[in-house]
Amino acid sequence: MRFKKMGGALHRAHMELRKKPVVSMVYLLLRIAVIAVMVLQFVNQNFENVFLCLLTLLLFLMPTILERQLQIDFPNTMEIIIMLFIFAAEILGEIRSYYTIFPYWDTMLHTLNGFLCAAIGFCLVDMLNRHKKVSLSLSPVYMAIVAFCFSMTIGVLWEFFECAMDQFFLLDMQKDTVVHTISSVMLDPQGRNKTVILRNITDTVVIADGEKVSLGLGGYLDIGGLDTMKDLFVNFIGAIVFSVIGFFYVKSRGKGGFASRFIPQVLQDEADSESN
């Protein structure tokens, strides 16, 4: 029964996509590309990547499914960016190794994620503001703050997820950073809360299976900490940018042409007519 409902939801999502020719064309091209990658990965017996491709195809339809469930309409620009974001993260980033080939690929995606999540958070508040059964009326400042906080919360939860995957499955989702200076109280020989600083580090030596191994990194390996802070910082930038845009969008009573490309529209009238 659950698979039948899921199949019906996916079919309705495909039908909804046909109502947006431009979005439908982008979806079709990306879908063909993902299927081609999936076939190649299957031939190479990379079954983990095959599953990742299937997940990507499902994620492509999430905006359309959310539109039906929440009675909202994603602008074409935003919907296309979401699909390109999914493709860039899963296919290019994970399977094609863009995360390691291009140093700023992950930074770009986290910045965009902060921007998009702020837009979604803004829409959720806007839905409550316009809902007739909810006595809530937030000012533009509060709407911008809620959008910002929503985006940052999603960013923090994602970092929790990355940390959990690294700890339990050793996936290294929180990428490591080579540093040349470290400061730590754990290096204090007397065991006190005194910082010991090591500078000009040129190599890291570890003992693995009883043998000393030089990592040859040219410095000390920071395990995920700096990467996490960098991801949260660029998420912060993306969230701030959209929150400012959303603030002026509400202040101008929805007349901002640029902002309207990224703010989902509430279809409350349609929802009311269906309920009646």
Instruction: Classify residue 15 as exposed, middle or buried by CB count within 10 Å of its CB (0-12, 13-18, 19+).
Output: exposed
Interval 37-56: pLDDT, tens:
999 999 999 999 999 999 99
pLDDT at 276: 45
> H or E segment at 256?
none
Q: Are 221 and 176 spatial neighbours (Cβ–Cβ below 8 Å)?
A: yes
Interval 55-74: pLDDT, tens:
999 999 998 888 888 778 88
Distance CA 149, CA 140 (A): 14
In the predicted model, residues of the chain with pLDDT beneath 50 are 270-276
pLDDT at 67: 83
pLDDT at 13: 67
Dihedral pair phi/psi, residue 262, rounded to 5°: -125, -5
Q: Are 104 and 175 spatial neighbours (Cβ–Cβ below 8 Å)?
A: no
Q: What is the pTM of this model?
A: 0.86
Residue with token string 């030089």: 214
> H or E segment at 221?
strand 220-222
Q: DSSP letter string over 157-219?
A: HHHHHHHHHHHHH----S--EEES-EEEGGG-TT-SS--EEE-S----EEEETTEEEE--SSS
pLDDT at 145: 95
> H or E segment at 101?
helix 98-101
Q: DSSP letter string over 131-160?
A: -TTS-----HHHHHHHHHHHHHHHHHHHHH
